[in-house]
Amino acid sequence: MSKKAKVGVWVTVLVVLGIIVGSFIWYFNTASGERALKTMRSNNAGGLERVVKVYSSSGELIQSYEGKIDVQDTEYGNKVLFDLNGKRIVIYNATVVTEEK
């Protein structure tokens, strides 16, 4: 392989690498990318500092939870579960409001 061909290969590799790195930088500076980063941090750290409030169908506050919480909801929307202080909490058919501290 000639010296000119080797330089061409390296230029191509650097251009592709630059496009990949640029795409990552662009994605993680979007709102969707920031949410993905926060989700990864929450999964790796065992949750985020949050306040979870559970309301009845009439709007009355039933229970409030506070601590490092990683909330998981179901695709059907009738169940929310999380672990707090080593205990699993499962909430069915209620309005759940989760706020990050």
- Parent domain of 24: 1-45
Q: Which helix (H) or strand (E) holds 20?
A: helix 3-27
What mean pLDDT is reported for the chain? Answer: 88
Q: Quick one: pLDDT band at residue 88, thresholds 50, 70, 90?
A: very high
Q: What gap in Å lies between CA 79 and CA 16, rounded to an integer?
A: 45
Q: How many domains does the chain have?
A: 2
Of 15-19, 76-80, 88-92, minimum mean pLDDT range: 76-80
- pTM of the prediction? 0.65
Q: Give the SS3 label for residue 41.
A: helix
Q: Do 55 and 76 belong together in one domain?
A: yes
Q: Do 82 and 33 belong together in one domain?
A: no
Q: Do 53 and 78 belong together in one domain?
A: yes
Q: Which two tokens stand for residue 62?
A: 């039933």
